[in-house]
Amino acid sequence: MLKLFRYTPVLCSRSSLMNNFRIPGFFSARNLSVNIDYDDKGSRLNLSELTELISEKKHVPAKLITNILGRINFEKLTVEESSFLLQCCGEFTADTTKKERDKISKMIFKGLQKCDKLNTDIYQTYINVCTDNRVPINTKELLNDVKCKPDQQLYKCLLENLCQNGNIEEAYNLLELMKNEGFFADEDIFNSLALAHAAKLGLESAETILLTMKTAHVQITNNTKASVLQGILRRGNKEDLDKFLEKYAFQLNENQLLTVLKELGLSQNISWLPEIRILYDTLTLSREFPNQLRNVCLHLVHMDRSLNAMTILENFMLGTENFGFFILEEMLHCNQKIDEIIFLAQHIPSSESNGYIIENLTGIALKHQYTDAAWKLFENLSELRPHYFWPLLLTYQQQNGELGVIQVVKKMLDKKIRPNHETLEYYVLPFCNLNDPHLLVDKIHKLGLTFKELLCPALIVLLQKGETKLAAALCDSYKVSISGGKLLNLISSSWHSSGDAESIAIILQRYCESSRVEKDLVGDFLIMSLEHCANTKDFANFNDLLKVINEKKLKMTTSSADVLCKVLDKNCEEHMSQQIRTDIDLLLDFRLKPEEQFITHPRDMTLEELECHLIELEEKNMQTRGVLRKLIGDHAKSGNDERVKQLLDRFLAAGYSETPGMKCMVMYSFVKGGHLQPALKVYNELKENDPTFSVDIFKILDLATLLVKNGRFSQAFEILQQHSKSKIFGGLLLQRNCLELLKACENEQEQAKMFNFLIEKGFCKVTNVILGPLVRIHLKDGNLQKAVSVYISFVEKYRFTPIKMEIIKEIVRSSDENLLQRVLDVTIKIHGKTSTQAVLIIALAEEGREKILRKILTLNKLPVKNELNKWSERLAKEGKVEALNTLASCCERLPKEIIDITLIYECIMKVHSTNNDCQSALKLYNSLMENEIPTSKNLEEQLCNLLRHNKCDIPEKLKINYC
C-alpha cells in the first residue's frame, strides 16, 4: 500500500539536489536582484521567485519565465544564475508544451551565447533541458561550437540526449569518440543505451546491453531496470512489458515512479497502469510527491493527455480535497474541448469538496473571459440565475458594445432566464444607446421582455444620466406600472439637479398611479425634495413644482404638510414660505390617513414576495391557506402549470379543500400549458361537482382552442354550445380568444361553422381581425381564386377588408392582373383611391417588383405622400429593410411632393440601428455619399450613435459635427 507521511525538514549544506537539478545553496534573492533590470515603473522583477518556487517543489509558470526573460541583462548574469534559468525551462515548467519550453530555452541559450557566457556547466544544463523536452541535439555542431574542452559528463549528457530521442547509430558514433578521448563506459552510459534499445528495438535488444554490462563487470541496478521499463513503455509493446515484469520485478523509487508515470501518461497505453502497481506497491511516498505528481499531470494536460492525467491522479490521490479540479482548470486555460472537460467533471467521484465542480469551472471561465466555454458550462448547471451572466455582459460589451449586450440578453432568454431588475439596470441598459429610449425599449421588447420589466430600469438609467425629458416621454408612452423606493429617491434628486418640474411631475404621477396601496408617496417625494433646497432660487423652484403637481391632481396627507411647514420655518424666508404654504394647502386630502409603518398585505405582494411569505408562514407553523390560494392563482395566470401542481399538493396536504374557483384556475393553467387531458379532467370534475359554478368565457374559449388543435372539433363545439345558452356580450374583450380559436381550425367548413356560431352567440363582433383567418385558410391551401372570392364577399357584406396587404402581395406574386384589378376595385370602395394606391405600392416594394413599381410611381397623380410615410415607418418597425431599399431605389428621382425619400433612408437606418447592423448602416451612408444624395441630420445622428455604442469607427466627415 502507498503511504504518505511528512518528512522532517533538513538543512542542506552548499546545495540541494532535486530531480537531477542542482540548486546552489548560496542562491538567494539578494544574489539575484543585482543582475535584474528594472521595468518602466521602477519595480524589480522577481527572478528570486523562481528559486523559491523550485525550492518548494512547485511548478514554475511559463509566463513568469517569459516575463523575466524579456527584462534580464545577460551580461550581468553569473554562471550559477545562467544555469538556473536554463533549468527552469525543463520539467519544472509544467504548464506548457515541450515545444514551448524548448523555444524559451533556446532564447536563453542564444542570449548567453551572444554575451560569451557559455561554459561546460551551462552546456550540460542546456543539453539536459533539451533531453527533458525530447529535443534532439546536433552533436557534431555542438561539439564544434564548444570553446572549452568537453569533459566526460558533457559527453554523457549528449549520449543521453541521443538515446532519449532514439538516435542509436549516432549514439555509438559518440561512444567511439568518447573512447578515443579516453573515457570509459559506466552505468549511466549503459542505462542510456538500454533505454534506446528498449524503445526502438524492444526488450530482447535491451537485454543485449544488460549482457554487455555483465561482461564489462558493470552492476545492473534499479536505475538500469527503470531505464529499460521507460523504453518499453515508450515503444508500447504489451508482450515486452509482461516479460519484463516477470523477469525483472523490482521496486521503483519516487523519482523513477514519476518518470514512469510521465512516460505512461504520454503514451496511448494508460490502461497498463494497474499492471505496474507491483513495482511501487510498497513504496512510501514523501509529502512532496503530491506536488511533483501535480506537475506531471499539468504537463500531460498541455500535451493533450488530460484523460491520462486524470487516470493517474485517481490511482494516487482519489478522495483528496478538490480532487482533479486543477486538471480541469488547466484544461480550460489550454482552451481544450469543453465537452471533454465537462465529461471529466461529471465523472469525477462526488464528495463534499468537489460537489460544485461545474459551478467552479464556470466561475473560472467567466473570470478569464472564456466566453465559449462559459456558454457550454451553463448548459450543464443545475440552476441558472441572472447574475451568472453579468461577467458575460461586461465582456461582450467591451468587445461589441450594444450589439454584444443584446446578444447575451437574447441567449439568456433562449435559456429561459429573464434578466432581472438589477441586470437590466446595471449591466444592460447603461451600455446601450439611450438617445432614443423608445427604440431601445422596443428593440429589447422584441427579444421577449415585457414593457413592464423594461420601463423601471430604463427610467432609473435615464434619470441617473440627467435625461428627465426623455424619461418622462418614455413613461408617458408605455402605460405600465413603475415602483421601487430607489426610483422615488431618484425622481426627487433628478428634480433638484434638472429643475424640470413638468417632466418630474409626469413620472411622479405614474409612480403614484402604480402604487397598489394608498401610501403618501407625494408627501414623501416633497419632503425629500424640500431637503435639497438651500437658497431662495431653490425654494422658488420648489414652489413651481407644487403648482405643477397640483395640476396633475396629486394629493398628500396633513402629516406630510406639517413636516414640510416645519422645514420651511427653519430654512425659508417668511415671504417665500407663505407662498409655498398656500400651494401646500391646495395639495391636501383630508381623507388620506397618516401613514403608519407599512406591512404589505399578501393581496398586494408580488409573486416572489408571496413565495418568501409562504416559507415564513410555514416556518412559524401559521395558516397558509390564503397565501397558497393566491400563489396558485398567480401561477395559473402565468401558465406555470408545474408550480401549480406543486402548490396544489401542498394545499391538499395541509388539510384544505379546493373551491370551484381554485379548480377553475388549475384548469386554466393546464390549458395555457397545452396539457389537454389534465385540463379536461379538472373541467369535467368542476362540471360534475359544481354544476352551478360559472366559468369565465375566455377560459372556455381557450379550452375549445386547445381541443381544436388536438383534432377534437366536435367536443370543442359542444362545450361552447353548453356555455352559450344565454346571450353573451363578448365584443372586443374576447376578440383575441376568438381569433386564436378560428386560427386553430384547419378545415374550411369547420372554420365557417365556428365563425357563424361565435358571431351569432355574441362571443365577438365582425372585424378585420376576426375575418382574417377565414381568408388566410385559402391562401395556406394555395387556392388564390377562392381567397379572392371570399375577400370580395366580405367587403360587400361587411364592408371590411381583412388581410388586404397579404392578399394583394400574393396576387402580385402570381402576376394575375385580372385578380389584382378585382381586389383593387372593391378595396377602393372602402378605403378610397389614395389609400389603396399606397397599399399597392408597398406590396410591390415588399415583393421586389422594381420595374412595375417605378412605372406606377412615375404615372401616379394621387397625393400618396402621407400614406407612404406611414407605411415606411411601419415597414421600419417590422424590420423589412429590403422593401424599404426597393422603395428608395424607385423613388430617388421623384419630386418631394410624391414621396419623402429622406424619410425612407431614415427608416432604413432605423432598421439597421435596431438590428445593431453597423456594416449595413455604413454601407448605406457610403452609398448616399457616393451618389451625392443629401443626408438628414437625424440619419447622421442615428449612424453615429449606432457606431459609437458598438465600438466601431465613425466616418471622419461625421466626427466633426457629432463627436
pLDDT digits (tens, 9 = 90+) for 910-955: 999 888 888 999 999 999 998 888 888 899 888 988 888 888 888 8
pLDDT digits (tens, 9 = 90+) for 331-355: 998 888 999 988 888 887 655 445 5
DSSP string spanning 36-93? B-B-TT-PBP-THHHHHHHHTTPPPPHHHHHHHHTTB-GGG--HHHHHHHHHTTSTT-
> Torsion-angle region of residue 553: left (phi > 0), alpha (psi -120 to 50) or beta?
left
Instruction: Tell me, yes or no, whether 63 lies in a domain.
Output: yes
Cell representation of residue 111: 542570449
User: CA 502, CA 480: separation in Å to the nearest integer?
Assistant: 20
Cell 462559459 sits on residue: 374
Instruction: Tell me, yes or no, whether 57 lies in a domain.
Output: yes
Q: What radius of gyration, in Å, describes the C-alpha atoms of the chain? A: 41
pLDDT digits (tens, 9 = 90+) for 637-650: 666 767 888 888 88
Give the domain-ending residue among 100, 125, 150: 125
The arithmetic mean of pLDDT across residues 209-217, rounded, is: 92
User: CA 406, CA 916: separation in Å to the nearest integer?
Assistant: 9
Cell representation of residue 961: 459635427
Instruction: Tell me, yes or no, whether 953 lies in a domain.
Output: yes
User: CA 926, CA 480: separation in Å to the nearest integer?
Assistant: 41
CA 125 to chain centre: 48
What confidence tier does 8 reach under pLDDT thresholds 50, 70, 90?
Answer: very low
Contact 289, 280 (CB under 8 A): no
Q: What is the 3-state secondary structure (H, E, C) of 408-431?
A: HHHHHHHCCCCCCHHHHHHHHHHH
pLDDT digits (tens, 9 = 90+) for 583-639: 888 888 777 665 544 456 676 677 888 888 888 888 888 888 888 888 887 777 666
Percent of the chain clearing pLDDT 70 (strictly above): 90
Between 566 and 222, residue with greater pLDDT: 222
pLDDT at 620: 82
Angstrom distances, CA of residue 195 to CA of 206, 279, 660: 7, 18, 86
pLDDT at 819: 92
User: CA 40, CA 42: separation in Å to the nearest integer?
Assistant: 6
pLDDT at 954: 86
Contacts for 309 with CB less than 8 Å, ≥ 6 apart: 265, 296, 297, 298, 300, 301, 327
Amino acid, res. 550: N
What confidence tier does 49 reach under pLDDT thresholds 50, 70, 90?
Answer: low
Phi first, then psi: give them for residue 436, nearest 5 degrees: -125, 85
pLDDT at 26: 29
The arithmetic mean of pLDDT across residues 358-386, rounded, is: 88
Cell 524559451 sits on residue: 104
CA 110 to chain centre: 45
**Of 689, 686, 668, 670, which Cα lies nearest the Cα of 678?**
670
Contact 307, 344 (CB under 8 A): yes
What separation, in Å, do the N-terminal and C-terminal C-alpha atoms of the chain show? 73
Dihedral sign for Cα 566, 569, 571, 574, please: positive
Between 255 and 82, residue with greater pLDDT: 255
For residue 15, the surrounding DSSP H or E stretch is: strand 15-18
**For the chain, how many structural domains are there in total?**
3
User: CA 465, CA 800: separation in Å to the nearest integer?
Assistant: 48
> Does pLDDT of 962 surpass 90?
no
**Mean pLDDT value across the chain:** 84
pLDDT digits (tens, 9 = 90+) for 282-323: 899 888 898 889 888 988 988 889 899 999 988 887 666 677
Give the domain-ending residue among 657, 686, 715: 686
Give the domain-ending residue among 644, 667, 686: 686
Other CB atoms closer than 10 Å to residue 498's CB: what's the count?
16
User: CA 442, CA 433: separation in Å to the nearest integer?
Assistant: 12
> Does pLDDT of 19 surpass 80?
no
pLDDT digits (tens, 9 = 90+) for 479-502: 888 887 788 889 999 998 888 899
Contact 325, 360 (CB under 8 A): yes
pLDDT at 40: 39
User: CA 833, CA 812: separation in Å to the nearest integer?
Assistant: 18
**Of 532, 541, 531, 477, which Cα lies nearest the Cα of 506?**
477
Name the residue range of residue 949's domain. 916-963
> Does pLDDT of 32 surpass 80?
no
pLDDT digits (tens, 9 = 90+) for 797-830: 999 999 999 999 999 999 889 999 999 999 999 9
Instruction: Tell me, yes or no, whether 77 lies in a domain.
Output: yes
| Cα angle: 579, vertex 584, 589; to 5 degrees | 155
Contact 717, 744 (CB under 8 A): no
User: CA 411, CA 391: separation in Å to the nearest integer?
Assistant: 14
The arithmetic mean of pLDDT across residues 861-874, rounded, is: 91
**Of 532, 522, 489, which Cα lies nearest the Cα of 595?**
522
Contacts for 598 with CB less than 8 Å, ≥ 6 apart: 517, 519
Contact 672, 708 (CB under 8 A): no
Cell representation of residue 519: 401610501
pLDDT at 224: 94
pLDDT at 33: 34
The arithmetic mean of pLDDT across residues 173-190, rounded, is: 89
pLDDT at 806: 93
Cell 393546464 sits on residue: 670
Instruction: Tell me, yes or no, whether 623 lies in a domain.
Output: yes
Percent of the chain clearing pLDDT 90 (strictly above): 36
pLDDT digits (tens, 9 = 90+) for 379-423: 888 888 899 999 999 999 988 888 899 999 999 999 889 999 999
Instruction: Tell me, yes or no, whether 901 lies in a domain.
Output: no
Instruction: Tell me, yes or no, whether 58 lies in a domain.
Output: yes
What confidence tier does 149 reach under pLDDT thresholds 50, 70, 90?
Answer: confident
Amino acid, res. 263: E
- The most confident of 560-569, 597-606, 843-852, by mean pLDDT: 843-852
> Does pLDDT of 904 surpass 90?
yes
Instruction: Tell me, yes or no, whether 80 lies in a domain.
Output: yes
User: CA 927, CA 921: separation in Å to the nearest integer?
Assistant: 10
What confidence tier does 223 reach under pLDDT thresholds 50, 70, 90?
Answer: very high
> Does pLDDT of 53 surpass 90?
no
β partners of residue 15: 24
What confidence tier does 60 reach under pLDDT thresholds 50, 70, 90?
Answer: low
Contact 308, 264 (CB under 8 A): yes
Write 656-661 long-range contacts (CB < 8 A, 24+): 656/625, 656/628, 660/686, 660/689, 660/690, 660/693, 661/693
Other CB atoms closer than 10 Å to residue 928's CB: what's the count?
16
| Cα angle: 287, vertex 292, 297; to 5 degrees | 130
Contact 494, 463 (CB under 8 A): yes
Contact 238, 270 (CB under 8 A): no
> Does pLDDT of 712 surpass 90?
yes
pLDDT at 616: 85
User: CA 896, CA 909: separation in Å to the nearest integer?
Assistant: 19
